[in-house]
Structure 1
Amino acid sequence: MGFLSRLFGQRQQESTPVEPVYYKDFAIFPEAIAENGQYRVAGRITREINGEMKEHRFIRSDVLSNRGSADELMVNKAKMFIDQMGEKIFS
């Protein structure tokens, strides 16, 4: 039972709603992934285009010691990506 409760417990944690950061009509959702006591930079960028919600998910190689730092780095990288690619993110 311990294995199953840990497995389902992790899924509950991951499903906690994340408050988006809005930048240039894009919504950035930082969603760091816990890995071996550290956090991998990950998340998604969304935007409504022509009435359709588009989404781009990504996982970076960066790993940091706490979730807050990983989420902050994700938002900064997402903003740079938006500046460079604009709506082409979803192509």
Structure 2
Amino acid sequence: MGLFSRLFGGAKEQPKVEVEPVEYKGYLIYQEALSEGGQYRIAGRITKQFDDETKTHRFIRSDVLPSENDANEFMLKKAQMFVDQMGDNIFQ
């Protein structure tokens, strides 16, 4: 199957890029826009360390934007608003 994928332009695996988190009120926000049909879907993770465990909330929004940078900036603003509204209840 690998030969046919290469010949007919099958999906190529993207290298994993390490995302630098943004710290906000004790939470780490990872901006991870998803490439989708020439646009970028707003997506990311919010994490927080609790004693001996790290909790993670992953989200993907229905919004798509033309640039990866715009999608990541919008995600950061949404994540900050979510933290302000929900606090530690994010992880319930």
Q: CA offset at residue 7 of structure 1?
A: 3.7
Q: How does 1:1-91 map to 2 (within 5 A)?
A: 1=3, 3=5, 7-10=11-14, 12=15, 15-91=16-92
How much has 1:51 moved relative to structure 2? 1.8
> Deviation string for 1:5-40 (max 9, x for gaps)?
864532x1xx21001010000000000000000000
Identify, as 1 or 2, the structure richer in helix.
Answer: 1
In structure 2, how many angstroms separate the alpha carbons of the residues matched to 1:78 and 1:6?
34
Unaligned runs of 5+ in 1: none
* Aligned equivalents of 2:87, 2:75: Cα separation in 1: 17
RMSD: 1.6
TM-score scaled by structure 2?
A: 0.88
Q: Kindly, what percent of the aligned residue pairs are identical?
A: 50
Q: How many positions carry a matched residue from both structures?
A: 88
The TM-score normalised by the length of structure 1 is 0.89
In structure 2, runs of 5+ residues without a counterpart are: none
CA separation of 1:79 and 1:2: change in aligned 2, threshold 3 A: farther
Please say which structure displays the higher CA radius of gyration.
Answer: 2
Deviations 1:26-85 (A, max 9, x none): 000000000000000000000001221000000001100010000000000000000000
